[in-house]
Structure 1
């Protein structure tokens, strides 16, 4: 092979009156390559042109008569992979176009233009770049390899990688990236090869199969106390997971988390949608103790695939300052504030017709409102944001405030107790008066008959006399 390149180099040296140039061309496999061969305008007559490849002989030839010939290696069932743009003849452009270039097309080419006694020769090195992926769609957690190749390889070239147009530094050799398949590897991989004043590039797409939503481990899901929430677990389209399982992980186990008890309102009896790839679960009513880490897992092509996520519970805490009981402070509380960058408060009011109106937006984690203002009644919503936008919201509904009655909460409770005691006392007095009146009426009814009164006294006197005689004996 080296001898062939040497002989080809000797062949391409110009003879008496010839001119020679050497250039480099990079082309990605499957694309079109243009090998330059430009000369100054010679004359109106058609020159003889021949393109050769070092190890394959003639590629394309055009005689002065206008006849064209192609090498056997460049014809496939009558389909010509090489062509010459005839419309550029008058400008002196004899460049060769190769369509759908292959790795074996890489090598050294020569262009020879003969016009009378003048001979012009140009040498072009075509380098084919290609990015290969060991598996274009690996299962999450499997080994994956992305390799950059250039044919022929340029000694001393520098290689750089980008993933989705962002720089990526491989942990191993520059020409290959070897990683565990995760969501962060998904996207377009591009290999950039810098050599002399040229740069070649090639790209390939990698799609990791597994859980696509949430896309990363330890993703956070936000929910307000008392609301319903969906814990997502969606696999790649076309995958049919088997043996799905949901677990709540006990706190304090970072490396080997132990499963705990799922919440009472947890529902994961099967897919929540018509797609088998959707194994999401639902909490019908979130409680404070439901906060924590959850794990979804299933078997894909014989391999167990898992995804961890954290449920962050939010609530509004209300408190009244001891010095000023005419106001209340609302505080937006989250179990995890690591992703929160901003808080907003919005006052929402519904009228009798159900129309909804929104007040001005107030920023801050806490908000103080007056309890004596009727305009503060209604729904107060706390919205919390992260760097990528809204994370969630939690509401607090003000139905009736004690300040509207003009009395303190403590006074209201004291007066209520006093009123209950007074009512009981009045009831007892009424019962006593009713009994007195009843007795009075009974005596009055008896004294209306004098004869009956005499009989009553006589009987009473006789009874007393008998009792005295009994005592004397």
Structure 2
């Protein structure tokens, strides 16, 4: 019987209408893309497929080593070490990403070499490559991390009737074609109190009823769709509440 050589496969995470949907890709060195929102966590998947080798994951050798590297932003041919786990258990982490990157020791023995980044920063976007060594095998996989950012201006707290800017952008390099905004699942008509331009949404006179889930969806010229959700809380107008403190010149601000 012919033995099938083991390969690594990446779980494909594709963005479809604002949702991240898992799929499957089983070709070694076939790059996949994962999107994560800045400030959240990202999982760069890399697994050993049990269907592509003749023995169970639980029989993997204890001499497993994993090396994650990142391609340089200005010079893609340059590789920079992100995290290295030697078969002895010794870990080496790049100083700029310490302690935000990790892999699970228990998962390594089960063929899961995925890299977790938490929290994600905007400059984490880029191409990552893992090299896994076990027994006499050396396998690799690639994952591209895209980062989407939602920002508020002015920053928190957001107060009723004060103009608000919600901006949404991503690390994707193609030209932005369309931006759509949704509030609590309903499309936002960009007229009157709302104005949208280049991924940003202006709310001229926000009210408490504008609190809730705000979802931005960016569509690019290459048909890539990127989305993110921000939960917004808007406070009622502040009023001056006169307390009776020790000093008569001391006042307390409170909200309705």
- What TM bracket, shorter-length normalisation? 0.5 to 0.7
Unaligned runs of 5+ in 2: 1-26, 50-56, 73-78, 242-252
The offset of 1:200, in angstroms, is 4.0
Superposed counterparts of 1:110-189, under 5 Å: 110-135=129-154, 136=156, 137-138=158-159, 140=161, 142-150=162-170, 152-155=171-174, 159-170=179-190, 171-173=195-197, 175-183=199-207, 185-189=210-214
Distance 1:159 1:122, change over 3 A: farther
Q: 1:125-179 deviations in whole A, cap 9, x for unaligned?
A: 1122221111242451x432111021x2252676432212322243433511123
Question: Corresponding residue for 2:93?
Answer: 70
Looking at both structures, which has the greater relative contact order when contacts are Cα pairs under 8 Å and sequence separation is at least 6?
A: 2
TM-score under structure 1 length normalisation: 0.37
* 1:46 maps to which of 38, 52, 63: 63
Distance 1:197 1:276, change over 3 A: closer
Superposed counterparts of 1:227-242, under 5 Å: 236=237, 238-240=238-240
Distance 1:172 1:74, change over 3 A: closer
TM-score under structure 2 length normalisation: 0.64
Q: Determine the C-alpha separation between the residues in 2 that align with 1:47 and 1:276.
A: 58
Q: Determine the C-alpha separation between the residues in 2 that align with 1:130 and 1:198.
A: 14
Query: Relative to total residues, which structure has the larger helix share, 1 or 2?
Result: 1
The offset of 1:276, in angstroms, is 8.4
The alignment's C-alpha RMSD in Å is: 3.1
Count of paired positions: 195
Unaligned runs of 5+ in 1: 1-17, 210-235, 242-274, 279-473
Q: 1:91-123 deviations in whole A, cap 9, x for unaligned?
A: 211001111111122221111112355322211
2:234 paired with 1:207: yes
Distance 1:163 1:88, change over 3 A: same
Q: Determine the C-alpha separation between the residues in 2 that align with 1:104 and 1:276.
A: 38
Q: Determine the C-alpha separation between the residues in 1 that align with 2:153 and 2:144.
A: 28
